[in-house]
Chains A and B, each alone.
Chain A
Amino acid sequence: MIARAAWLCDGVLLVCESESGGRVVAQPASDPLGAEVEEKLTDLTTFLREGPAGWDAAARTQLLDYLASLGGELGLSPSLSEGLHRAREALRRRRPLSLPDRRSGVGLAVERLHRIDERSFYVRGCAWAVGEGVAALTAITPEGERVELQELVSPHPGAAGGFAGLFETSFPTHGAEGWVFEAATGSGRAVEAPASIAPDPLRTIFADAGLAFAGAEELGERHIHPAVHRLNELQRSRTEIVELAGHGEAPESPAISLVIALQRRVDLIEHQIAQFAADPEVGGCELLYVLGEPDQSDALQTLAAELFALYGLPLRLAALTEPAGLPIACDLGASLAGGQRLVFLGSDVIPDRPGWLGAMAAALDAEAAVAAATGKLLHAGEAVDQAGLEYAQGPASGDGRVVHRLRGMHRDAAAAAEACPVAAAGLACLMIDATALAAAGGLRGEYGLADYEGADLSRRLAGIGAELRYVPAAELYRLEGLGAEPEALGEPYARWLHSRFWAEATAGVSA
């Protein structure tokens, strides 16, 4: 027997089997519906108001739990999400809205809520209860699923009662708006606070990673690292590289491929080519530019074609299908490169004079164990930007922090003129044997920062017995003031992650 029926969304019918309490089932719509359903069909608002809205709280909660599961069972379409949200709003138990005044008894504030993937979210906020503790903290999705957070989240030092953490829903959820969080005490006092999904999760997560407090390690290990890892995996899975154009005849089986990731300043391609055009060694290489921001691909293709016409320097142009960080652009670019050796070069790096490629190649030729080399990177004022990388120790600089070796010294300083093994090299200028790169597993793409990504690669190279050399004869300028790379976020996280992987290994190679 059917009491009433209504469309929850396109294709999903709610059927109530009893006037009082009873059961509501959702079913994919059949065609035709049948005479009984046709007879009892009403709109969703009437269906809910005249039926489940009058049930007791436990029955309504049970129904909402059931409805929330439909997204997983039937596949969560936008219209189903909307229907579930309407049902939730009609049936859920409303709590008083939390007030910001901390003297008000029970309070709750959600400062940030970010989507990590379809079912993972990162939240930061605070909850308090005067006179007793907060006993329950609950997130309610726009579709009505309830997730108990109290045992999931970790303390956050941003405010008294602060919390932050990664949580998962059982079922997919679409909506950016319509989230509700509840805080309740053991004595039954409860409040709620609305929330919506904010953009740019990494900015929040990396800021949390930089906090120094007693619970930092737990927050990092349980929440921050898994969240960043998932974001990176998602990014990586979405991002592909496509070749846009080739201009001129690149050498067959090139000895060296230059892989240059273009981020914000695509115009820098012109300045590099103006320098490369006078360098016969570059003319013998494969030159591959990888555009990290696909929305600029049309403009870049036109410019690249005209630059080839003007300079005559053969080049290949590829683009990522999604905006991604420099390490991912480099890694995917490497997959297209045909050289036996690759040179990762920043788009804000220009050689001081010809000969830099030969000097680095000679370092690899000289000893079989040497699989990678980096050059002397300079600031415009003739100070050294980096002569390789090293690990700092001590409270001032932060344990395990990757720093630029010899930064600030004059380019002619004796130490900068000495060829030597170095602990690590960044991606601003790194020549690496393609086989060694593959053996080391390529670039991890998890750090966001090119220096840490390079340092991680350096550690893995060391792990397979490959050495890295600093070559002072290879002098290049790195013009970081051009704003070629997006704002560098996440150094504390990158440092934490690098230590997580390599704490023991770096202890032996620190400055």
Chain B
Amino acid sequence: MARRILQICHNHPRVRPGGAEVYAHELHRHLGRRAEWEPTFLARSGPPHAPAGSPHEGTRISPVEGVADEYLLYPGDHDFDWLFGTMRRRKDLYTEDLRRFLLALRPDVVHFQHTLFIGYDAIREVRRTLPEAPIVYTLHEFLPICHNKGQMVRTMDRSLCSEASPGRCAECFPDIAPDEFFLRQRFIRAQLDLVDLFIAPSATLRERFVAWGIPRERILLEDYGRVEAPPSGEAGRPAPHDTLGIFGQVNPYKGIDVLLRAMRALGAEAPLLRVHGANLDLQEHGFREEIAELLEAGDSVTSLGAYPPERAGEVMAAVDWVVVPSVWWENSPLVIQEAFAAGRPVICSDVGGMAEKVIDGVNGLHFRVGDPESLAATIRRAVRTPGLWERLREGIPPVHSIAEHADVLTEAYEALIAARRAAVAA
């Protein structure tokens, strides 16, 4: 008999195709094709990603139109508290709506892919309502640790932050008292302490959470698995290898401004750059203006907009190099897996999950994070060095498939189910 697994996510990729939700949805679809699992996907909907309001009076949960095993959660009139990651002063979203859903579904495992805009309290509700169901939580960034959108980047100068503490966090947010940050950490930890297993897609992320206080043995280091990329046409490309591409979300932490400044610094030497960026419209006005100005100034820059996940192989086949210039640590960027799946070496910042997943000189090149001059020099080296592109292509590792990933998770789920049932019985 198939086991029931519920994945809970902060967003549905149909609404906004962010990396974490794309991966989570791919995993859901894959599990649905395996005999041992009967999966359900619950994604939060509503502002800022979608219109507010549940389609049906009297419930905040409704199925995704035309899909039997996917649901949307509409917190609606609840007020999400960004600092504490909870619904301010109201808990009926958990104790009524989510509880009813859990009791109707009775999953054997609940896997949180994210709690943003839902609240950490949802973990508590699962534990309270389904004491036998193990809780798994995938860490996608540092949000439990860092109030600055989980980036661990200092607000005053965008420098990288290596340690959260009440005093340091209050330096980033002078309007919030250090004691509030202390309380934040305690509150979030109180909820995360109920999680049976965390999944960390990168060692960078795992070590940060271990330092934050989560026991190492409760964190499984397991990278995202990806659906086999569709054929991308001619995987190889003739020289010269002078076309760059940047893919994915456009926000102040993804470093597109660093890349565009590097292109400006290269002047007439600048190679072609294809920009496939998403969600710029969600960013603050000042940032949008800055990016628009930089895009207009670059003669060799072509802005092509977002792409659907299933076309990743195709759009990447049109470039020689994939640039990942993020100015935050990153976790395990899906774009790196997509680049490798398409046979494209990666030029990336020399920190965090990027430096961990791309080996400098083996399957890509590193540059000094946040430094346009360093990136310009690296680009110049990449496009001018004969044979470098081919050599780096040969160093690209096979991409962790969603099937391999699901095998690992299945083994972990089964062990957790047994352990949890034994613990409850005892």
> Which residue of B86, B92, B177 is within 8 Å of A481 (Cβ)?
B177
- Residue-wise, chain B 122-151 has the 8 Å CB interface mask toward A (1 for contact) of 001100100000000000000000000000
Task: Determine chain B's interface SS by DSSP, over half rule.
Answer: helix
A477: chain B residues within 8 A (beta carbon): 182, 186
> Which residue of A299, A306, A350, A482 is within 8 Å of B177 (Cβ)?
A482
A275 to B190, CA, bound (A): 6
B117 close to A (CB within 8 Å): no
Q: Quick one: which of A266-302 are within 8 Å of B by CB?
A: 267, 270-271, 274-275, 277-278, 299, 302
Q: Known: A274-B191, A277-B190, A278-B193. Is A309-B91 also a contact (CB below 8 A)?
A: yes
> Which residue of A274, A303, A306, A380 is within 8 Å of B190 (Cβ)?
A274
B19 close to A (CB within 8 Å): no
A378 to chain B, nearest CB (A): 10
B125 touches A267 (CB 8 A): no
- Residue-wise, chain B 193-208 has the 8 Å CB interface mask toward A (1 for contact) of 1000000000000000
A381 close to B (CB within 8 Å): yes
B128 touches A481 (CB 8 A): no
Contact size range, B: 20 to 34
> Which residue of B88, B91, B186 is within 8 Å of A310 (Cβ)?
B91
Count residues of chain A with CB under 8 A from any CB of chain B. 26
A37 close to B (CB within 8 Å): no
B183 close to A (CB within 8 Å): yes
A310 touches B121 (CB 8 A): yes
A389 to chain B, nearest CB (A): 21
A462 to B8, CA, bound (A): 58
A303 touches B166 (CB 8 A): no
B179 touches A310 (CB 8 A): no
B253 close to A (CB within 8 Å): no
Q: Which of B89, B121, B183 gathers most chain A CB within 10 Å?
A: B183
B173 to chain A, nearest CB (A): 13
A480 close to B (CB within 8 Å): yes
A312 close to B (CB within 8 Å): yes
B193 touches A299 (CB 8 A): no
A311 close to B (CB within 8 Å): yes
> Which residue of A278, A381, A482 is within 8 Å of B167 (Cβ)?
A381
B100 close to A (CB within 8 Å): no
Chain B contacts to A: CB under 8 angstroms: 86, 88-92, 94-95, 121, 124-125, 128, 165-167, 177-183, 186-187, 190-191, 193
Please name 8 further chain A to chain B contacts, defined as beta carbons within 8 Å, in addition to the given A267-B89, A275-B190, sorted by A numbering. A271-B187, A274-B190, A278-B193, A302-B90, A310-B124, A380-B182, A481-B178, A482-B180
Chain A contacts to B: CB under 8 angstroms: 267, 270-271, 274-275, 277-278, 299, 302-303, 306-307, 309-312, 348, 350, 380-381, 477, 479-483
Query: What would 30 A/B residue contacts be, using CB atoms closer than 8 Å?
Result: A271-B183, A274-B186, A275-B186, A275-B190, A277-B124, A277-B190, A302-B89, A302-B90, A303-B91, A306-B91, A306-B92, A306-B95, A309-B91, A309-B95, A310-B121, A310-B124, A350-B183, A350-B186, A380-B166, A380-B178, A380-B181, A381-B165, A477-B182, A481-B177, A481-B178, A481-B179, A481-B180, A482-B177, A482-B179, A482-B180
